[in-house]
């Protein structure tokens, strides 16, 4: 079998990768919805994989893996890797999880990242609590819910009473700097209000940065130790930060019993090495759409398990094809696995163009692992064509 073409179409906001072969088998992969600009970067790799056997996944990846980088530039490599596994599974008539060593769980736990409700009014502790109640009442019955706060989705830097730094108006979490005592207390009050809603029925995870400095991160982690939150995520580095700062994370982690988490922006196993070997965090959360693919994610999970570090993969914007990849790899992860972040199809019509997903997808915070060949999901060409841009009209050819 040989690769004959690599295509990429932006469907909605998600770049979708399709790899065609001379035997008529094709594979699909998907890039996060926040990265609609990456189509040219996907096609950059076309000449580097044409003519190769897609079922030799690692051999193909050796030609392109070194050419990626930290979020967002590893996404193209990651989507190609997922499409290769999709082909390999279809070629032998087996689900991808079989090719990754087989599953150790029949259902995979997910946590809420993408089932969201607009927050009414100001970002007060009371409104954070009301918003958390809405997510707790969602039909998926999530056992862990993540909420953005502080530098991640909060407006704390806009208040001179909360933040000593200079507010930077820009996307991708541009702010970094010291908090005032009032700002720190405000964050703690919001966390306590949400935890009161969650009780001990639902784990509360907090996405807080990047943007914290080490002293503030340490003080916050210590201030909420009695609440037993699931984790504090990306406080120092993280989303769209192309470095790790393992020594700084280690200083925070060793100062508190509150679990400290990072990893969604990291590309390749090599860049997790310091975090893991120094036990710089308690939980890592690589995203299969950024780390370099699902085999890379599994390798890191195994290495983390050897060092007593837990695994909670990121995935909020990975879409429905990304969801399928997460289900396949999560079924195979070692017992340090907590849950992966549940992505949804956006816009809603994505559910009309994908086949192979269970209905409902999530039951009691779990997804049943399916056994269809490859990733087990596919695009319905006649439905999806309606959403193709003119320049992508040949995507399904």
The CATH number given to whatever domain includes residue 26 is 3.30.390.10
Asked whether the bond before 360 is cis by omega within 30 degrees of 0, the reply is yes
Whether 86 and 125 share a structural domain = no
Whether 72 and 182 share a structural domain = no
Whether 242 and 175 share a structural domain = yes
Q: How confident is the model at residue 149 (pLDDT cuts 50, 70, 90)?
A: very high
Task: Tell me which DSSP letter residue 129 carries.
Answer: H
Number of domains observed in the structure of the chain: 2
The CATH number given to whatever domain includes residue 330 is 3.20.20.120
Whether 258 and 174 share a structural domain = yes
Q: Is residue 397 part of a domain?
A: no
Q: Is residue 387 part of a domain?
A: yes
At residue 243, the pLDDT reads: 97
Whether 275 and 315 share a structural domain = yes
Q: How confident is the model at residue 154 (pLDDT cuts 50, 70, 90)?
A: confident
Q: How confident is the model at residue 171 (pLDDT cuts 50, 70, 90)?
A: confident
CB 33 within 8 A of CB 41: no
Tell me how far apart the alpha carbons of residues 221 and 189 are, in angstroms, rounded to a whole number.
13
Tokens of 176: 């970094």
Whether 325 and 218 share a structural domain = yes
At residue 209, the pLDDT reads: 95
Whether 65 and 103 share a structural domain = no
Whether 47 and 157 share a structural domain = no
At residue 304, the pLDDT reads: 98
Whether 67 and 112 share a structural domain = no
Helical H runs in the chain?
39-43, 46-49, 57-64, 75-92, 96-99, 125-136, 181-198, 214-223, 246-254, 273-277, 294-306, 319-330, 350-353, 381-384
Whether 232 and 137 share a structural domain = yes
73-97 pLDDT, tens per residue?
Answer: 999 999 999 999 999 999 999 999 9
Tell me how far apart the alpha carbons of residues 325 and 82 are, in angstroms, rounded to a whole number.
7
Q: What is the mean pLDDT of the chain?
A: 97
Tokens of 365: 């915070």
At residue 189, the pLDDT reads: 98
Whether 12 and 121 share a structural domain = no
Tell me how far apart the alpha carbons of residues 174 and 326 are, in angstroms, rounded to a whole number.
29
The gap from C-alpha 251 to its chain's centroid, in whole angstroms, comes to: 25
pTM: 0.97
272-317 pLDDT, tens per residue?
Answer: 999 999 999 999 999 999 999 999 999 999 999 999 999 999 999 9
**What is the SS3 assignment for 322?**
helix
Whether 12 and 142 share a structural domain = no
Tell me how far apart the alpha carbons of residues 153 and 165 are, in angstroms, rounded to a whole number.
17
Tell me how far apart the alpha carbons of residues 35 and 379 are, in angstroms, rounded to a whole number.
20
Mean pLDDT, residues 118-132 taken together: 96
Residue ranges making up the domain that contains 64: 3-94+380-392
């Amino acid at each position: 079998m040989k690769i004959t073409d690599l295509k990429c179409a932006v469907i909605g906001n998600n770049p979708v990768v399709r790899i065609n072969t001379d035997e008529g088998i094709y594979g699909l992969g998907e890039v996060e919805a926040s990265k609609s600009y990456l189509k040219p970067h996907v096609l950059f790799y076309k000449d580097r994989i044409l003519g190769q056997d897609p079922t030799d996944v690692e051999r193909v990846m050796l030609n392109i893996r070194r050419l990626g980088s930290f979020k967002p530039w590893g996404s193209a490599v990651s989507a190609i890797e997922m499409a290769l596994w999709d082909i390999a599974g279809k070629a032998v008539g087996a689900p991808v999880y079989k090719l990754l060593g087989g599953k150790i769980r029949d259902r995979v736990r997910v946590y809420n990242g993408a089932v969201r409700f607009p927050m009414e009014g100001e970002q007060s502790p009371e409104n954070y609590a009301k918003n958390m109640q809405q997510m707790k009442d969602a039909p998926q019955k999530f056992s862990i819910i993540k909420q953005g706060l502080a530098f991640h989705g909060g407006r704390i830097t806009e208040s001179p009473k909360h933040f000593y730094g200079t507010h930077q108006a820009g996307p991708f979490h541009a702010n970094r700097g010291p908090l005032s005592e009032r700002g720190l207390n405000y964050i703690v009050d919001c966390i306590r209000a949400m935890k009161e809603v969650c009780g001990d029925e639902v784990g509360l995870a907090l996405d807080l940065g990047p943007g914290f400095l080490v002293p503030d991160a340490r003080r916050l982690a210590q201030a909420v130790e009695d609440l037993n939150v699931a984790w504090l995520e990306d406080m120092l580095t993280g989303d769209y930060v192309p470095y790790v700062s393992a020594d700084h994370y280690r200083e925070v982690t060793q100062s508190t019993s509150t679990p400290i988490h990072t990893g969604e922006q990291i590309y390749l196993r090599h860049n997790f090495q310091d975090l893991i070997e120094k036990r710089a965090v308690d939980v890592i959360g690589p995203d299969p759409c950024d780390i370099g693919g699902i085999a890379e994610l599994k390798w890191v999970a195994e290495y983390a398990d050897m060092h007593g570090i837990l695994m909670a993969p990121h995935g909020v914007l990975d879409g429905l094809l990304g969801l399928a990849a997460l289900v396949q790899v999560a079924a195979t992860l070692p017992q340090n696995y907590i849950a992966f972040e549940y992505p949804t199809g956006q816009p809603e019509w994505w559910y009309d163009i994908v086949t192979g997903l269970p209905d409902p997808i999530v039951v009691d915070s779990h997804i049943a692992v399916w056994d269809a060949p490859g990733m087990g999901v596919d695009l319905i060409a006649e439905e999806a064509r309606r959403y193709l841009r003119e320049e992508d009209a040949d995507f399904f050819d």
